[in-house]
Amino acid sequence: MFENKERTDIAELGEFGLIKHLTSNFKIQHETSIKGIGDDAAVLESKDKQMLISTDLLLEGVHFDLAYVPLMHLGYKAVQVNLSDIYAMNGMATQITVSLGLSSKFPLEAVEEIYKGIELACNKFNIDLIGGDTSSSKQGLVISVTSIGYAKAEEVTYRNGAGEGDLICVSGDLGGAYVGLQILEREKQIFLENPQLQPDLEGKDYIIERQLKPEGRRDIVDLLAQMKIKPTSMIDVSDGLASEILHICTQSEKGCTLYEEKIPIDPMTYDTARELGLDPTVCALNGGEDYELLFTIKQSDYEKLKNDVDISIIGHITDKNSGCNMISKSNVSHELKAQGWNAFKG
């Protein structure tokens, strides 16, 4: 990856020199950030709001493959997947900490690329980098990001608040990140078999970007606030639509009915899934990594968002005894499973 480029051994800088080198461009922007990098601990002030904290760990070979994931994109994505958890609580993300485990194959230039992506995400979403750690790793690259955000107590939205009759809504479209991953994996295998061939990604820009450079949906949190809508429950779509709605139903002790024809799938996602021999609906249900927001609202709020093109109403909450089901396009009811629905049951 960096074999033929200029390499600077990280050991030349030492830990504190590395931290200073990587973080010198990051400026504190939030008044809640009293003290950032440079002391034994960061100091935050929550004032009159509740603090929201979430941590994600990304492991090379498990969560990402450096054969096709650019390091700058990886840094950007590592931040986004964390911010998404804060937005899923109906909060505003304001700070992050970043910790890296680095094997000897990574020179300073590689780490700089990761931090370019982190800086890009921080600048775009107005985030303060306030701390972290670096260490050597024997297992490749490890990235751990902790995100911190705030929300007024009455605005925090949990998974367990869905009520019978509530409408199930989702932002954006689903399945694109998973189908994009299948394209990247296909091209990787072709390259391994014949390194002379160039990857064929023409016309697949949207779904490739959905996988490599996802965006946390802060705009949806802002939009709901403008519409004066407080979701009754909310979760981000990191593991697939089926898993996420089951989380909401389990914690709310309710059931649900989804409608296949209402699930938003981009035409490129749909067509590419078909090309690959995949069912587009299964990709949306099980794919994950879309980082859209799945939420429920009271029926009385329907008029406020019914015309918003970026929010789809895909079903409703039912009583617990009704179970969690999806009505197919052929009007057949399928029980939802965390890995999709069982098409052979019933």
Determine the pLDDT at residue 45.
82
> Residue 146 is part of a domain; what is its CATH number?
3.30.1330.10
**Both 185 and 136 in a single domain?**
no
Question: Block means of pLDDT (10 residues each) for the chain, length 346 residues?
Answer: 62 64 70 70 82 93 92 97 97 95 89 95 94 86 95 95 97 97 94 83 93 96 97 96 96 97 98 97 95 98 94 97 96 85 38
Q: Is residue 161 part of a domain?
A: no
Same domain, 144 and 202: no
Q: Which of 103, 175, 86, 203 is nearest to 143 (CA)?
A: 103
Residues 123 and 191 in one domain: no
User: For residue 234, how many other CB atoms are within 10 A of its CB?
Assistant: 27
Please list, in sequence order, all residues whose beta carbon lies within 8 angstroms of the beta carbon of residue 290, skipping any fewer than 6 positions away: 172, 173, 174, 175, 176, 177, 178, 210, 214, 237, 238
Beta carbons of 169 and 264 less than 8 angstroms apart: no
If asked whether residues 123 and 172 sit together in one domain, one would say no
Task: Determine if residue 111 is left, alpha or beta; phi over 0 gives left, psi from -120 to 50 gives alpha, anything else beta.
Answer: alpha
Domain assignment of residue 260, yes or no: yes
Task: Confirm whether 41 is domain-assigned.
Answer: yes
Is 214 found in the same domain as 90? Answer: no
Inter-CA distances, 124 with 119, 212, 285, Å:
8, 17, 29
Alpha-carbon distance values, 328 to 80, 170, 245, 267, 345 (Å)? 32, 18, 16, 19, 13
pLDDT for 10: 62
* 327 and 214 belong to one structural domain: yes
My answer on whether 136 and 242 are in the same domain is no
- Per-residue pLDDT, 172: 97
**Residue 162 included in any domain:** no
pLDDT of 133: 86
Residue owning tokens 């700070």: 95
Beta strands 311-318 and 92-102, pairing class:
unpaired
Last residue of a domain, one of 92, 122, 151: 151
Residues linked to residue 331 through DSSP beta bridges, in sequence order: none
Which of 88, 117, 151 terminates a domain? The answer is: 151
* Residue 35: predicted pLDDT: 67
What is the span of the domain harbouring residue 329?
167-341
Distance (Å, whole) CA 241 – CA 256? 12
The set of residues, in sequence order, having a beta carbon less than 8 Å from that of 280 and lying 6+ positions away, is 175, 179, 265, 269, 270, 273, 274
Measured in whole angstroms, the distance separating CA 204 from the mean position of its chain's CA atoms is: 20
pLDDT value, residue 340: 41
Partnered with residue 315 across adjacent β-strands are 168, 258
Other C-beta atoms lying within 10 Å of the C-beta of residue 9 = 10
* DSSP H or E run through 313: strand 311-318
pLDDT at 3: 54
Beta strands in 230-282 (DSSP E): 233-236, 255-259
- 300 half-sphere exposure, CB direction, 13 A CA radius: 5
Q: Do 172 and 107 share a structural domain?
A: no
Residues pairing with 95 in the sheet:
128, 148
Alpha carbons 310 and 220: distance in angstroms, whole number: 9
> Does any domain span residue 196?
yes
Same domain, 84 and 223: no
Residue 19 vs residues 37, 111, 142: alpha-carbon distances, Å: 9, 11, 16
Shared-domain flag, residues 42 and 175: no
pLDDT value of residue 137: 86
Domain stop point among 127, 151, 175: 151
Residues 32 and 134 in one domain: yes
Asked if the structure places residue 4 within a domain, the reply is no
| CA proximity to 329, closest of 295, 279, 289 | 279
Tell me, yes or no, whether 118 and 251 share the same domain: no
Residue 279: inside a domain, yes or no?
Answer: yes
- Per the structure, how many domains does the chain have? 2
Has residue 233 been placed in a domain?
Answer: yes
Dist. CA 12–CA 185, nearest whole Å: 36
User: What residues are paired with 54 via a beta bridge?
Assistant: 147
Give the CATH number of the domain where residue 261 resides.
Answer: 3.90.650.10
